[in-house]
Amino acid sequence: MSDGSKMEYNFSLIEKKWQEDWKKNQVYKVENDFSRPKYYVLDMFPYPSGAGLHVGHPLGYIASDIYARYKRLKGFNVLHPMGYDAFGLPAEQYAIDHGIHPASSTEQNIENFRSQLDNIGFCYDWSREVRTCEPSFYKWTQWIFLQLFDSWYDHKKNKAEPIKKLQLIFQRNGNRECPCPGDGSIHFSEADWKSFDDRRQQEILMLYRLAYCGYGEVNWCEALGTVLANDEVINGVSERGGFPVVKKKLRQWYLRITEYADRLLDGLNKVDFSDAMKEMQSNWIGKSEGAEITFEVVSNDMLNSELKVYTTRPDTIFGVDFMVVAPEHELIESITTNSEKKSVETYIAYVKSRSERERMAEKKISGCFTGAYAINPFDKRKIPIWISEYVLAGYGTGAIMGVPCGDERDHKFAMHFNISITNIIGRYYTGETANPTKDAVLENSDFLNGMIMKDAIPVVNNELEKRGMGKRKVNYKMRDAAFSRQRYWGEPFPIVWKEGIAHALPVNELPVELPYLDDLKPGPGGEGPLANLDEWKRYQEGIREVNTMPGYAGSSWYFFRYMDPHNKEVFCDRNISDYWNQVDLYIGGTEHAVGHLLYSRMWTKVLFDLGFVSFDEPYKKLVNQGKIGGDSRLVYRVHGTNEFVSAGLKDIHHTDEIHVDVSIVDGIELDISEFKKLKPEYDDATFILENGKYYCGSRLEKMSKRYFNVVNPDDIVLKYGADTFRMYEMFLGPVEQDKPWDTKGIEGVHRFLKKFWRLFFDDIKGKVWTEEQPTDAEWKILHKTIKKIEEDTERFSFNTAVSAFMVCVNELHDLKCFKKPILEPLVIMLTPYAPHISEELFHILGNSTTVLNATFPDLKDQYLIESSKNYPVSVNGKVRTQLDIRLDATQEQVEKLIHSNEIIAKWLDGKSPKKIIYVRNKMINVVV
RNA sequence: GCCCAGAUGGCGGAAUUGGUAGACGCGUCAGACUCAAAAUCUGGUUUUCGCAAGAAAGUGCAGGUUCGAUUCCUGUUCUGGGCACCA
């Protein structure tokens, strides 16, 4: 390269040159070097959609890239990989609609993603790339699934254990010490167990397995031959075609994630996630502590059966005026009296006719009396048992005790059906609305009278347990996660069915490869497309599982595979996972709060329990990047005409607004000639202008093709370069925050980089940088900047770090400081933010090695001590002077400074200060 | 309805632990260079009053704590996000 071409900042040349160099020399390849301190920076890997990346997507990637490069400069061995979450529904839908096989559309999309990512200059170690749809990857997805299938949760040890151990326990003790998580009503002795045939034994084991197959309710549409999602069913008929849809119990695979509810909740205390994220996860888990109370039931004047209810407020037991059971409750048939039979049947038929949607949307009060009564276990009062859809079958026992004075829903129900209300909280209940307080003193409550409600809770619990009428109980909102899909584009299950019993395939037969299938129509009886492949289905004397795993299977463990991506023997070598350990920094969107993040946390805990890894929380710190919104541009057409009116004048006409492509608008000014070319109908459009210009309206909304507001990073990189793009995305605002994209603002950052370049080369003079020794003032600028950039990078405040660079360069320009001892550390500090220009300048300064091997510059304290401002104030009659001092000042330096400070010296008048108070590490109060 | 987060110039945002509010950038105004434009450089830019020096007000709203509050506390309004008959 000649000196002449170095004169001006030619970003496209520089970026191309260094990207090729990085690739050729495999600069970012990472070794599993156990002798070095490690740091693991991970992005949530993308789903390679056909739309490609817009400027919003790389935000998190840039932040993690900066941090990874920063940690590398700090001397860490940094694992920073990337891959693709490549299995899933959208690719399959696309295939069905467009006739392209998901394997090839996925391949194409990945290629496109890769070129877009490469453009931005990330430091990923691509030799560790993973794709969840590759057999070499999903072999281990299947293998981990088999570990889940072969395990159960031992509540005594509070961990997962191999199912073999459970079989031994059953042989010795039956299940009296291991209550069945799948069906609490199953009890058997060791003798019973031995008497069960193999089939029965396997059925029972299935109820314990962490990955299990059971029956769940789904929307089944016979005419379409498929299962439909809730939102595809409207008023009991299918959205497409209007065919009848019925609720049907179908065989489904599940993850028994509920067994990990407590540990998933507790684990939140030892990870660094945002409070909002922790909140979302703990709400989803929905732990509540209460009691399960058993009521005797009288029907047709005879003692009939028992009804269990779950309540978090056992203290209100004497305020119970009615019981409500869910319409699906199994007791309904047996307890309904002859006289009520008809109305109960009518009510249940009504409930069944309503879709989940209607039920949730309307929330109207409905219900029906069963004719039966429950007996209050303490005062033996008869309590009517009702049925209502506001009680959910799936939570607690599917039955509640109605306490109208304390619960608003119960109150509304009682008012609606004219049930008399017992007041147990005195003046706290006005008769108008319920009061859920725990602070009231109980009345009308037998042995609890005079007690404060919250104190009464343990008293009642003790009494219930003493009398055997109930017990303390913890409940969770979280349900087991459905794990099978009747779809093609996913991992096949390594399972074979023989006579109704699921068998794991031997590990040496993994992976079970997904057979190539052209026609992706569903199979018979609600099964997936794989069911159409008779030959593939048959496996010895059994039949393969034809469902596939859901999209979240591969993403639940992929972070392990990056550590040891090419291992053919295990999913990840234990020594290697011990070294890389937890992901130190995980960056991704909030949309995965309760899906991916919970599943991957659970899988890690299982692998930990079974001894395959040494930690049970996968992510040490999680940062959620915000979304970048599109800034749409709107034009206004006078209704019914072809005349467009400028935004400021739109209100005086009756107009329709139309989105216009942001690329033909400069700021808010429309390029009318470009606009006319958009559509033939616009060709003869007329315009009402303001000041001779057509101004567009604007609106912030989601970046989407539909709104013509998508900005492609490729276009930005082409115009301004990757370094400008990276820095601008960071400069936009805090990483965690949602913010709008504004292409105009990018000029400022671009100017900064050009100015940075001019510290080295002048347009006219050429080379300006020298080997000269800097002055103290110049050192101070450098050290101030090092400190600021280091602190800001460390605390993820990349926007203020970029500002600090700008300030520094402006100051150096003002001082005309082009000295190598100042410039070189600056280039190194800029590396994480703008890697290409840094490499080039570092190379020019005469270092033969790349910036990669450089270290983040050390601080020299002596240039940091300075006094800034001081404020004399009067506190409680004493005169104080406050003094701002650099953070790192030592006691000695402070005292020296105090005596040399003009104002303080005047106050002191030669005497010593009475007192020096360190208010903060930055503020010092001197009392005279 | 419940839970969480936020509200600062024309705009994006800064102020790290209570210490000169508005860093940095955009936009804009004025000037330099230029025949002109681009690029670059210099200066101004919270509001009101003032020729100016300067003065007063000012971080959604109303209070409170403090020598001092964008920051802490109480109440309130609005905006964004999450959950939603979970007993």
As a rounded value in angstroms, the CA-to-C1' distance for A723 and B22 is 28
pLDDT tens figures, A637-648: 888 888 888 777
pLDDT tens figures, A429-488: 888 888 888 888 999 999 999 999 989 999 999 999 999 999 999 999 888 888 888 889
pLDDT tens figures, A81-90: 999 999 988 8
Token look-up 């307890």 returns A335
Which nt has its C1' nearest the CA of A732? B12
Greatest extent of chain A over all pairs of C-alpha atoms, in Å = 107
The residues of A between 254 and 313 with beta carbon within 7 Å of nucleic strand B are 275-276, 279-280, 283-284, 286, 288, 290, 310-313
Distance CA A577, CA A613 (A): 7
**CB of A797 lies under 7 Å from some atom of strand B:** yes
Token look-up 């191309």 returns A16
Q: Specify which residue's alpha carbon is closest to the C1' of nucleotide B14.
A: A800
Which nt has its C1' nearest the CA of A868? B20
The helix/strand/coil state of A426 is helix
The helix/strand/coil state of A401 is strand
The total of other beta-carbon atoms located within 10 Å of residue A59's CB is: 21
Q: What is the 3-state secondary structure of A224-258?
A: CCEEECHHHEECCEECCCCCECEEEEEEEEEECHH
The residues of A between 603 and 642 with beta carbon within 7 Å of nucleic strand B are none
pLDDT tens figures, A704-721: 888 888 889 999 999 999
**CB of A395 lies under 7 Å from some atom of strand B:** yes
pLDDT value of position A867: 43
pLDDT tens figures, A751-765: 999 999 999 988 777
**For residues A848 and A486, which has the higher predicted lDDT (pLDDT)?**
A486
The residues of A between 177 and 236 with beta carbon within 7 Å of nucleic strand B are none
Distance CA A123, CA A172 (A): 57
Token look-up 């009060």 returns A365
Q: Specify which residue's alpha carbon is closest to the C1' of nucleotide B42.
A: A814
How distant, in Å, are the alpha carbons of A168, A180, A192, A201, A213 from that of A197? 16, 18, 10, 6, 19
pLDDT exceeds cutoff 60 at A382: yes
Tokens representing residue A751 in the block: 């100017």
When pLDDT is averaged across residues A783-811 and rounded to a whole number, the result is: 93
pLDDT exceeds cutoff 90 at A543: yes
How distant, in Å, are the alpha carbons of A176, A382, A425, A639, A752 from that of A291? 21, 20, 20, 64, 65
**CB of A396 lies under 7 Å from some atom of strand B:** yes
When pLDDT is averaged across residues A257-276 and rounded to a whole number, the result is: 91
ipTM of model: 0.93
As a rounded value in angstroms, the CA-to-C1' distance for A869 and B19 is 10
pLDDT exceeds cutoff 60 at A4: no
The residues of A between 473 and 512 with beta carbon within 7 Å of nucleic strand B are 475, 477
Tokens representing residue A548 in the block: 């596939």
The residues of A between 399 and 438 with beta carbon within 7 Å of nucleic strand B are 400-401, 407, 409
Tokens representing residue A776 in the block: 């103290």
pTM (2 decimals)? 0.89
Q: Which of these, A476, A503, A316, lies nearest to A411 by C-alpha position?
A: A316
pLDDT tens figures, A162-182: 999 999 999 999 999 999 998
When pLDDT is averaged across residues A261-283 and rounded to a whole number, the result is: 90
Sheet with A585-588, strands from edge to edge, namely A77-79, A38-43, A585-588, A622-624
As a rounded value in angstroms, the CA-to-C1' distance for A213 and B86 is 25
Distance CA A411, CA A401 (A): 12
β-strand partners of A619: A583
Distance CA A822, CA A746 (A): 27
CA A679, chain centre distance (Å):
41
As a rounded value in angstroms, the CA-to-C1' distance for A777 and B31 is 30
**For residues A262 and A356, which has the higher predicted lDDT (pLDDT)?**
A262
**For residues A591 and A243, which has the higher predicted lDDT (pLDDT)?**
A591
As a rounded value in angstroms, the CA-to-C1' distance for A806 and B25 is 9
**CB of A552 lies under 7 Å from some atom of strand B:** no
pLDDT value of position A695: 76
Q: Which of these, A825, A817, A816, lies nearest to A845 by C-alpha position?
A: A825
As a rounded value in angstroms, the CA-to-C1' distance for A914 and B21 is 32
pLDDT exceeds cutoff 60 at A70: yes
Distance CA A429, CA A442 (A): 11
**CB of A800 lies under 7 Å from some atom of strand B:** yes
Q: Which of these, A549, A725, A678, lies nearest to A142 by C-alpha position?
A: A549
When pLDDT is averaged across residues A688-717 and rounded to a whole number, the result is: 82
When pLDDT is averaged across residues A115-131 and rounded to a whole number, the result is: 96
Positive or negative torsion for Cα A115, A117, A120, A125: negative
DSSP A173-229: HTTTTS--SS-TT----HHHHHHS-HHHHHHHHHTTBSEEEEEEEEEEETTTTEEE-
As a rounded value in angstroms, the CA-to-C1' distance for A738 and B80 is 9
Q: Which of these, A708, A737, A743, lies nearest to A725 by C-alpha position?
A: A743
In terms of C-beta distances under 8 Å and separation of at least 24 residues, what long-range contacts does A510-519 make, across chains too? A510/A139, A510/A142, A510/A143, A511/A135, A511/A136, A511/A138, A511/A139, A511/A142, A512/A142, A512/A544, A513/A135, A514/A133, A514/A135, A514/A488, A514/A489, A514/A490, A514/A548, A516/A101, A516/A103, A517/A488, A518/A101
Q: Which of A525-534, A667-676, A787-796 has the highest mean pLDDT?
A: A787-796
Structural element, H or E, at residue A688: strand A686-688
As a rounded value in angstroms, the CA-to-C1' distance for A433 and B43 is 67
How distant, in Å, are the alpha carbons of A48, A50, A53 from that of A111? 9, 11, 12
Per-chain mean pLDDT for chain A: 87
Q: Which nucleotides of B are covered by protein (CB under 7 A)?
A: 3-5, 11-20, 23-27, 39-42, 67, 80-83, 85-87
When pLDDT is averaged across residues A49-71 and rounded to a whole number, the result is: 93
pLDDT exceeds cutoff 60 at A912: no
> Angle formed by the axes of helices A275-285 and A596-609, to 10°?
80
Distance CA A87, CA A83 (A): 12
pLDDT value of position A879: 45
Contact predicate A709/A631, CB 8 Å: yes
Distance CA A812, CA A809 (A): 5
The helix/strand/coil state of A100 is coil
As a rounded value in angstroms, the CA-to-C1' distance for A279 and B4 is 7
When pLDDT is averaged across residues A284-299 and rounded to a whole number, the result is: 92
When pLDDT is averaged across residues A100-127 and rounded to a whole number, the result is: 95
**CB of A398 lies under 7 Å from some atom of strand B:** yes
Q: Which of A24-28, A288-292, A310-314, A701-705 has the lowest mean pLDDT?
A: A701-705
pLDDT value of position A877: 38
pLDDT tens figures, A18-39: 999 999 999 999 999 999 999 9
Which nt has its C1' nearest the CA of A356? B85
In this structure, what DSSP letter does residue A819 have? B
Distance CA A543, CA A525 (A): 15
Binning pLDDT at 50, 70 and 90, where does residue A652 land?
confident
β-strand partners of A631: A700
As a rounded value in angstroms, the CA-to-C1' distance for A2 and B75 is 70
Binning pLDDT at 50, 70 and 90, where does residue A906 land?
low
Token look-up 């970026």 returns A15
pLDDT value of position A916: 52
Note the residue count of chain A: 928
Token look-up 């994220």 returns A277
Binning pLDDT at 50, 70 and 90, where does residue A870 land?
very low
pLDDT exceeds cutoff 80 at A891: no
Token look-up 């930690």 returns A615
Which nt has its C1' nearest the CA of A313? B87
Distance CA A337, CA A220 (A): 33
Q: Which of these, A580, A501, A514, lies nearest to A205 by C-alpha position?
A: A501
As a rounded value in angstroms, the CA-to-C1' distance for A445 and B30 is 83
Distance CA A239, CA A20 (A): 52
β-strand partners of A248: A218
Q: Which of these, A542, A534, A615, lies nearest to A582 by C-alpha position?
A: A615
pLDDT value of position A95: 82
When pLDDT is averaged across residues A721-734 and rounded to a whole number, the result is: 95
Q: Which of A122-131, A219-228, A816-825 has the lowest mean pLDDT?
A: A219-228
pLDDT value of position A657: 82
Q: Specify which residue's alpha carbon is closest to the C1' of nucleotide B1.
A: A408
pLDDT exceeds cutoff 80 at A355: no
Q: Where are the alpha helices (DSSP H) in A363-480?
A: 408-416, 453-467
**For residues A422 and A439, which has the higher predicted lDDT (pLDDT)?**
A422
pLDDT value of position A263: 94
Binning pLDDT at 50, 70 and 90, where does residue A215 land?
confident
pLDDT tens figures, A144-159: 999 999 999 999 999 9
Distance CA A596, CA A481 (A): 11
When pLDDT is averaged across residues A769-785 and rounded to a whole number, the result is: 89
Burial class (CB in 10 A: 0-12, 13-18, 19+), A585: buried
pLDDT value of position A618: 96
**For residues A246 and A542, which has the higher predicted lDDT (pLDDT)?**
A542
pLDDT tens figures, A877-890: 344 455 544 444 55
When pLDDT is averaged across residues A810-830 and rounded to a whole number, the result is: 92
Which nt has its C1' nearest the CA of A364? B85
pLDDT exceeds cutoff 50 at A1: no
Distance CA A179, CA A69 (A): 51
**CB of A515 lies under 7 Å from some atom of strand B:** no
Binning pLDDT at 50, 70 and 90, where does residue A893 land?
low
Which nt has its C1' nearest the CA of A813? B41
As a rounded value in angstroms, the CA-to-C1' distance for A877 and B64 is 23
In this structure, what DSSP letter does residue A543 have? E
Q: Where are the alpha helices (DSSP H) in A708-775?
A: 713-720, 722-731, 746-757
The helix/strand/coil state of A303 is strand
